[in-house]
Amino acid sequence: MAADAALLTSTGESNAAPNMFGQLGQKLLLVAGIAAIVAVMVVFWLWSQQPDYRVLFSNFADKDGGAIVAELDKLSVPYKFAEGGGAILVPADQVHQVRLKLAAQGLPKGGNIGFELLENQKFGVSQFVEQVNFQRGLEGELERSIQSISAVQAARIHLAIPKPSVFVREQQYPTASVLLNLHNGRRLDGQQVGAVVHLVASSVPNLSADHVTVVDQNGNLLSDNANKLKQNGLDPEQMAYVENMQNSIARRVESIITPIVGAKNVHAETSAEIDFSMTEQANESYKPNTKPDDMAIRSAQSHETQNTGGSNGAVPGALSNQPPGESTAPINAPGAQAPGAEGAAPAAPPAPPLNTQKDNTTNYELDKTVSYVQQAKGGIKRLHVAVVVNHIPVVDSTGKTTYRALSNAEKQQVSDLAMQAMGFNKERGDTISVVNTPFVAEAQEKLVEPPLWKDPLVIEYGKDALRFLAGAIVLMLLYKKLLKPMTRKLTGADKKELALAAGNAALSGPDGLPLAGAAGADGEDALVTLSGDATALPSGLDQTLQAAKQVAKDNPRMVANVVSGWTSAEK
């Protein structure tokens, strides 16, 4: 037993140097693990403090991109590229500020050159070059104007302006072609295409809207629909007017019938024929004349002429048209005085003839009516209304709901109300149809709320939470896989040393003598207790067991440390 104790002691001393180097290596690993954890924490903190980047500009020309990057370098603003270099990202808190600063520098220019092209013309430029620059500037200005439409991403315009000619037969008219690049999922309706056409046509002299062609990026001819509407006499405003009128009449019909049959139990549709032609008419009518005494006199004129007759001389040498005078007998009658007799009285001259002429002219007022009639556009030519009424629900005494059809009287009542609501005119040719039939129950569609993870606020908070969660997971993995095993090894080695020291102390006395089964110099077995007293015990295994029991009884704490050291060493 003494030999075993000596061997144990020598073995512990021989393993002291390797254990010391092992402990030193484990301490170095512990320090390295702590340094790695600190480095990971620093990297995570820097990553969490990295600003959020937002899009500053996208879909820009390469020339504009270079100018923007150069200006960002001057402003010391960090930036990143995304979408394969098609977008420039800057910190989110600086997007608006940087965008305004770049706008003050005229960036991005967008590749559209407007009338600023004429500001830097050189002296001595020919008229042809000046005309070309003016046309380029006009095209650029039109492109900028069209790009301001929300659905248009980019626009290209080509103007073909012929040279003016003094000959009417050789006169040519300008034309224009517009290429639109629309945003994804966006399109232009007929009214918007017409607006683009009129915008271009109004900007170029003598350019008709019929000579403007609009095409999108897919090669679809957009201006064809607008031209067809114009050729057919249809106007988007007129179509909207018809649609609004039809909807208004249908709502009036439904609102008047709903209180009778209940909500959602009636449906009405209207078809209106509208006359958009404008008619002007002038009418002039006269009434028959009334009695002269009752008529109003506009003007009256009276003319009277009287002529007194003298001797009318004839033309010499011509027969007179006056009758001859009274003839006298050559032989005087008895008692008559001879001509030329003295004392005879002269005869009286004959009375001259009298000629009177009267002219009376009276102008009466005429009963005339002149009317001018101008019929406004949008008059109703004919209305057609169709009404569908659901069966009326009836609840019996048991609470069961059944449906019944409308009676003839109820159906006629519904028809009369609908006719009054629509303004039925039989002479105009209006028609109305009322049908009573059960409605098919529609499956109610559930409103699908957007998922919570699509909420921008939740996304923002989720990013922050993921950052801290990722850091916590990394720290936990480092502690569990690196720091904890190294700490356990170090504490296990210390406990093992303490256990070995405690075991040696338990197996040997103060003088280094074995407590149980140790052979003395004289070959006798002796047992030394912890207090230094020797007690004789039986030899062999019994002596060892008795010694262990005695040690456990006298100093149980030391025995517990020894057992703990053995357990740690086995692990």
Tens of pLDDT, residues 356-367: 788 888 777 777
Residue 291 lies in a domain: no
Task: Assess whether 67 and 172 both reside in one domain.
Answer: no
Task: Assess whether 434 and 387 both reside in one domain.
Answer: yes
For residues 126-136, average pLDDT: 85
The upper half-sphere exposure of residue 315, i.e. CA atoms within 13 Å in the direction of its Cβ, equals 1
Band (pLDDT 50/70/90 cuts) for residue 269 is very high
- Between the alpha carbon of residue 361 and those of residues 242, 286, 299, 358, the distances in Å are 61, 22, 8, 10
pLDDT at 486: 66
Query: Which of residues 216, 234, 252 is at a domain's end?
Result: 234
pLDDT at 9: 44
Band (pLDDT 50/70/90 cuts) for residue 256 is very high
Q: Evaluate the CA torsion angle 327, 330, 336, 341 in order and state its sign.
A: positive
Query: How is residue 395 annotated by DSSP?
Result: E
pLDDT tens per residue across span 527-544 = 334 444 444 444 555 666
**β-bridge pairing 175-182 and 279-286:** unpaired
For residues 554-558, average pLDDT: 75
Supply φ then ψ for residue 300, to 5 degrees.
-135, 135
Band (pLDDT 50/70/90 cuts) for residue 257 is very high
| Residue 332 confidence (pLDDT) above 70 | no
Q: How many domains does the structure of the chain reveal?
A: 4
Band (pLDDT 50/70/90 cuts) for residue 351 is low
Average pLDDT of the residues of the chain: 74
Q: What is the DSSP string of 34-75?
A: HHHHHHHHHHHHHHHTSPPEEEEEES--HHHHHHHHHHHHHH
Which residue range(s) make up the domain with 201?
122-234
The upper half-sphere exposure of residue 224, i.e. CA atoms within 13 Å in the direction of its Cβ, equals 6
330 or 252, which is more confident: 252
pLDDT tens per residue across span 177-212 = 999 988 888 888 888 888 899 999 999 998 988 899
For residues 264-268, average pLDDT: 92
Q: Where are the beta strands (DSSP E) in 217-296?
A: 266-275, 279-286
Ranking 85-99, 335-349, 450-464 by mean pLDDT, the lowest is 335-349
pLDDT at 214: 93
The Cβ of residue 499 has, within 10 Å, a number of other Cβ atoms equal to 21
> Domain of 95: which CATH number?
3.30.70
Task: Assess whether 551 and 473 both reside in one domain.
Answer: yes
Residue 338 lies in a domain: no
For residues 336-350, average pLDDT: 53
Residue 160 lies in a domain: yes
For residues 517-527, average pLDDT: 39
Task: Assess whether 165 and 92 both reside in one domain.
Answer: no
Residues 243, 425: Cα–Cα separation, whole Å: 20
Ranking 24-28, 62-66, 342-346, 479-483 by mean pLDDT, the lowest is 342-346
| CA nearest neighbour of 54 among 98, 107, 84 | 98
Band (pLDDT 50/70/90 cuts) for residue 35 is confident
Beta carbons of 268 and 385 less than 8 angstroms apart: yes
Task: Assess whether 155 and 99 both reside in one domain.
Answer: no
Task: Assess whether 63 and 32 both reside in one domain.
Answer: no
pLDDT at 411: 92
> Domain of 391: which CATH number?
3.30.300
Ranking 299-308, 312-321, 334-343 by mean pLDDT, the lowest is 334-343
Helices (H), 284-438: 408-422
Query: How is residue 453 annotated by DSSP?
Result: G
Residue 324 lies in a domain: no
Task: Assess whether 211 and 247 both reside in one domain.
Answer: no
pLDDT at 517: 40
Beta carbons of 518 and 5 less than 8 angstroms apart: yes
| Residue 10 confidence (pLDDT) above 60 | no
pLDDT at 233: 57
**Which residues lie closer than 8 Å to 191 by C-beta, 6 or more apart?**
236
Task: Assess whether 25 and 167 both reside in one domain.
Answer: no
Task: Assess whether 210 and 260 both reside in one domain.
Answer: no
127 or 290, which is more confident: 127
Task: Assess whether 228 and 240 both reside in one domain.
Answer: no
For the chain, give the percent of residues with pLDDT over 70. 67
Query: Which of residues 178, 211, 234 is at a domain's end?
Result: 234
Residues 377, 274: Cα–Cα separation, whole Å: 9
Band (pLDDT 50/70/90 cuts) for residue 2 is very low
Beta carbons of 551 and 528 less than 8 angstroms apart: no
pLDDT at 542: 66
Residue 289 lies in a domain: no
Residue 497 lies in a domain: yes
| Residue 519 confidence (pLDDT) above 50 | no
Residues 401, 438: Cα–Cα separation, whole Å: 14
Contacts 24+ apart (CB under 8 A), 558-563: 558/502, 558/505, 558/506, 559/502, 559/506, 561/498, 561/499, 561/502, 562/499, 562/502, 562/503, 562/506, 563/499
**Which residues lie closer than 8 Å to 180 by C-beta, 6 or more apart?**
146, 152, 154, 155, 188, 196, 214, 215, 216, 217, 222
pLDDT at 258: 92
Residue 461 lies in a domain: no
Task: Assess whether 261 and 189 both reside in one domain.
Answer: no
pTM: 0.40
Task: Assess whether 220 and 246 both reside in one domain.
Answer: no
Residue 406 lies in a domain: yes
